[in-house]
Amino acid sequence: MNDVSGKLMLAVTRSSRETRFLLHARDTVIFYGIDWGFPLEDTSYRDVWKDTLETQTHHIENQETGWSNPLRYALAMAMGSRKDSINKRTPEELVESSFQVLIESTSANGFFPGLLNENTKEPESYSEEQSDLYFHASFEIPLVLLRRAIPINEIYEKPPGLVDDIQQREYQHNLGTLTDLLTTQPKHQDRGPPEPDVSPNL
């Protein structure tokens, strides 16, 4: 039972220290489980799980202005691509805005940072204690984008009139940039001129 909403909900963490209903960035794994066939939405827990998702919009922590962990944007895309939302945005708006922040935070070699400035959304440096979490995000964000690539793409391929031409062109440009970064080596990895052939003449 959630003491605030008065509803029965499925806790995402339950321990002697806390009972938590707020989704954290690391809870992307819950949605991997659904992809892998864990029948959460087809069990007796369906209604309480639905209430857990719906109550996310009421948590002030889920407003994007305060996000510094890029994995929260990945979580938002995982939810939005399933027609769920983590805040007051529609699922489609959530996917579009989160994708925009993530793609604009990448470096020239396609590396996703593990920490963002809360206000500017620019990449931030990290301390030694944060290194594991920082680089974990750098690997998991591409995984989320690849696993949800089809439904994310479908959001941008709306019928004419539902998304403006400028936004469509921006998405296609960003998607092309991301594809190039993930499938090609950086140009600076030049091995230099080929070595001369020193084999003896036969």
Per-residue pLDDT of the chain (202 residues; tens, 9 = 90+): 666 566 788 888 888 788 888 898 889 988 887 777 776 666 677 788 888 888 898 888 888 777 999 999 999 999 999 999 999 899 999 999 999 999 999 988 888 999 999 989 999 988 888 888 888 988 999 999 999 999 999 998 876 454 555 566 666 666 666 666 666 655 444 444 445 544 454 4
Residue 70 exposed, middle or buried by CB count within 10 Å (0-12, 13-18, 19+): buried
In a domain, 37, yes or no: no
The CA distance from 37 to 152, in Å, is 20
What is the predicted pLDDT for the residue at 183? 65
What is the predicted pLDDT for the residue at 166? 57
Domain that holds residue 120: 27-32+63-180
The closest alpha carbon to 182, from 145, 154, 152, belongs to 145
In a domain, 67, yes or no: yes
In a domain, 145, yes or no: yes
In a domain, 9, yes or no: no
Look-up of token digits 């009139």: 161
In a domain, 15, yes or no: no
- In whole angstroms, how large is the CA radius of gyration of the chain? 21
CA dihedral in degrees (29, 115, 155, 85; nearest 10)? 60
In a domain, 151, yes or no: yes
In a domain, 121, yes or no: yes
Count of domains in the chain? 1
Residue 71 exposed, middle or buried by CB count within 10 Å (0-12, 13-18, 19+): buried
What is the predicted pLDDT for the residue at 81? 94
